[in-house]
Structure formats: structure tokens, C-alpha cells
Amino acid sequence: MRRTGEFLQDLGKALMMPISVIAAAGIFLGLAAALQNPAIVGESIIHAEIMQQVIGFIRKVAGALFGNLPLLFAIAAAIGLARDEKPTAALAAVIGFITFHVGVNYSLLAQGLTPQTTSVAALIEKGYSQTDAVMYSAEFASTLGIFSYQMSVLGGVIAGLVTVILHNRFYTIKLPAAIAYFGGRRFVPIITVIVLPIVGVLMSLVWPFIATAIIHLGQFIGESGPFGTFIYAFTERILIPTGLHHILNETVRFTPVGGMVHVDNESVIGALSIFNYALAHPGALADDVVREATRFLAQGKIPVMMFGLPAAALAIYRCAKPEHKQRVKALMMAGALASFTTGITEPLEFSFIFVSPLLFLFHAVMSGLSFACAQLLEVMIGNIQGGLIDFMVFGVLGGAKTHWWFDLLLGAIWAPAYYFSFKWIILRTNARTPGREEDEEPLAAAGNSEGDAATGQIIKGLGGAENIQHVDCCFTRLRVKIKDMNKVDEKTLKQSGASGFIRATDSDIQVIYGPQVESIASAVKQNLLVQQTQ
């Protein structure tokens, strides 16, 4: 069970690697779409040849990223889960991904399934109805020019996971002297070429059953309407402390659970994929189709991220003891600004998640209701973050069809609901939110301390350099593998600016610092490296 928890934590972190790139590419696509909307920029821009060439170039680049997401996820899974020699793991993942689909292709050809025999026209000739022919043909796709099953991102993750298992097992292998040259890290691509095609053949035999199960789950969620959307959003918030919300999100964004459409003999799978396809191919998808996908995306987050949580931050500040309000003000303002502008919420969430389960439950319910209400009001705002940037680019600049004003209306309701509910619960239950703790040690804002002193304090709080096995980070969390959890001093970490902690497993701790965690992680790694060389 412990190893399973560690694996899921590491997998969730690994899957976040390509998401930041996709989110940025989505923003560029959103801006490009706005620049092709005559209602926003006027007819003169629409007919400006140079401008349209630039927009076309942006669409091509972004489209290439979205079209190769499975490969990106295969590489990300391998890099994120490799114990060492990560460049070797990345190369092996590319090889593994290609040979995996070659194995699938060989199996399909042996079954008489080819691009010709699975085309819509050929299937109709065999007696399929138009709908059945389209649905069956959509189960297949060309992946890097290889005819294979349409596995989307899940296929990439499977290939990446098998590859990294081989990598971690064999990257230190020693071979007999005669063939010693092929040992160690050179052996990883070799064993990958041998194993992954076999895995591809085996996967081709079980994939139809997996695909059917996923499609049925997606159909159930779709038929559940706003209730299904509420369950998704509520569960996603509940999983925040575990870090497993990333896996749930990627399932909705890139598998049939989040929707599947067929257009121009091509299958587009997952909520985020559908939305980005609509941006890259204006007019290719009906607004109702896109709106059905965006119910899982940014539109449901905006009332919470831009209005609800900043109001909660104000309530926490107002409830702080007078002598601590100044330091709490700095913390809450930083967290509220991050939530409002970018949709990064963990610095705020971890100020109350563990000290008051009632506040956390209220937050999760309100998040679910926000998603459900946005769907009922037919809002159509995509991307993944849910802050001001997404609201402006994909909402306001998306035009009237996005119904962006309904998110403002919901925000006007969510802000006072959060403020008064948080204030009442904090005072009624005497919740130990920032500024109300029994331990009144001074608390620094993350990143306010300078240089080696702050880094040294973090290392000390983690039990010292000798207690640290590995340091990494995601959007807001410093993720550390340690030897002895008992040596971790949360008080010291809190003084360094941490807003919360997750002891994910017996050897994994996540320390919440906020958007600046990337620089914090780099500083800690450099400090540890210096200590190792002394």
C-alpha cells in the first residue's frame, strides 16, 4: 500500500510536466482566436494578410503540440519516475512509444484491420450504419504515421510507465566483458526495443475492453448532467491534499471521460483536447459540443478562484488576532493575488484545509456547485487554470457566445458566501487559521527571506541534508523524498514561509510555498550539491 501511494504521488507529479506547456499554448490559441473574431478586432485586422499569417503560424505550432500529446506524456512519465539517468529514460521513452505502437500495428494488421478496411466507406459497404461506421472507425488513428488504436494520452502514459520500469531495473546492469559496452544505460534502449513491441501486441488484445469501459464511464458522466459535473469538481477539490487530483484532471482532459467527438475522419478525445481543437480549427465544432467539454474546465473555477478564495483570505485576515494581522495580511494578499490572477490556489487552501475540515468541506461543495451552475448557465470558457488570465483570454475575448458575464454573476454570489461562511465557521469553531494559532512563532511569507539563510532553514526543517533523498517541485509544492519523517520540523518549515504540508507517504513530504516554488527548489538543490562537494 505504501509503495502504491508513493507511485501515485510520483505519477501525479510527472503528468504535470507537459501541462504547463499545454496551458501556455492554449493561451496563445485563445489570443489567436480573438484576433480572428471581427466582433472584437474589426474587419481590417481580419483581412490583414501579415497578421493572418502570424495567426496561422501560431495555430500550426500549437496544433503540433496538441497533436503529439501522447508522446509528450510518455516522455514526462519516464522523466518524472526515473530514479537516475533521466536523459536516458527520456530517449528510451521516445523509442518505447514508437515501438509500442508498432506492436499494436502489427497485431491489427494480423487481424486484417488496416486504414482501408476500417474506413467509414469500407464499413458502410460491409453493412454498418453511418453512425456505427463512424464510431468504429474512430477507434483507430495514425500515431506518428503508425496505424494504431486511438489511445490518446493514456497510450503515452502506458508506454512511458513500462519504459521507466525497464529503465529503473536495468540502467545499472553489468554485462559480460565481451559485451560490456552495451551494459548500463546503453542497455535501456535495447531492452525497450525488445519489450515494448510485445507490450503493444498484448495491449492491442485488451485495449477494446478498456476503451469500452472508459467510454461507458464518460457516457454516464455526460448523462448525469450538472450532477456529474458537481461530483467531478467536488472530488477534485477533496483530492487536493493527496496530490492525486492531477490524475483525475488528466483523465477528464484527455480521455473519453471528458468527451469525444468525431470530425473530418478524426477523433478528438478529452475535454481539453476538444476545446483546443475548436480554437485551432474555428468553426469545425458546434458551440454546443465545445460547451459540453468546457463544463470540466476553467469556467467552473473562475467564481471560486477569482472571487471565493480571495474573499476567504479576507475573512481569515479579519479573524486573525490584532497583534498578528500585519503578517497575516502579507500572506493572505500573496495567496489571494495568485488565486485571482492565475488560479493557483494551494497557498490559500493549505492555510485552512488541515486546521478546519469544515472549511475544507464547504470549499469543496462550493467548487462543485460553481461547476454545476456554470454548466446550467451555458458558460463556455476553457483552459485549465481559472484565474483572470483565462477569464479574459477565453471568456471576454472569446465573445458573447462564451456567456462570460454569468461567471461574474456567480462570483458576485460566491464572494460574500465565502467571506461570511468562513468568518462564521472560524469564529464559531475557533479554527486555528493563520494569526489564530496557539504557537505564535513568527511566520514569514514564502520567498521573503533571502539567500542561503532561507534555503538553509528549509533544509534544516526537512531534517538536514543527510535526511534528504530527492528534491523536486510542481506548480506550488516542494516535493521531497526523505529518509526519516520524524526528523522533519514543521515549525521550522512554517517559519520559512510554508503555508501547508502533506505527508503523502512515510518517505514523501510536500511543502506548499506557492508559485515561487521553482526558485525555492533550485536553491535547495544547489545548496545540497554544494554540501555534497565540500
- Tens-place pLDDT, residues 93-110: 999 999 999 999 999 999
d(CA 175, CA 186): 11
Residue 23 one-letter amino acid: A
Q: Are the CB atoms for 358 and 365 separated by under 8 Å? A: no
For residue 183, name the pLDDT band (cuts at 50, 70, 90). Answer: confident
Query: E strands of 78-184, at which residues?
Result: 140-143, 146-149
Q: What does the pLDDT read at residue 10?
A: 66
For residue 121, the number of C-alpha atoms closer than 13 Å in the C-beta half-sphere is 2
Beta bridge partners of 261: 268
Which secondary-structure segment (H or E) carries 269?
A: strand 266-269
Domain ranges of the chain: 9-22+68-294, 298-429, 451-533
Active site residues: 474
Low-confidence winner among 57-61, 450-454, 500-504 (lowest mean pLDDT): 450-454
Q: Are the CB atoms for 263 and 269 separated by under 8 Å? A: no
CATH topology of domain 451-533: Gyrase A; domain 2 (3.30.1360)
The answer for residues whose C-beta is within 8 angstroms of residue 109's C-beta and 6 or more apart is 147
Low-confidence winner among 1-10, 198-207, 346-355, 405-414 (lowest mean pLDDT): 1-10
For residue 16, name the pLDDT band (cuts at 50, 70, 90). Answer: low
Cα maximum dimension of the chain: 80
Question: How many Cβ atoms from other residues are within 10 Å of residue 284's Cβ?
Answer: 15
The answer for residues whose C-beta is within 8 angstroms of residue 311's C-beta and 6 or more apart is 414, 415, 416, 418, 419, 422
Low-confidence winner among 146-150, 251-255, 360-364, 366-370 (lowest mean pLDDT): 251-255
Q: What does the pLDDT read at residue 216?
A: 74
Q: Write the burial class of residue 28 (CB in 10 Å: 0-12 exposed, 13-18 middle, 19+ buried).
A: middle
Q: What does the pLDDT read at residue 244?
A: 66
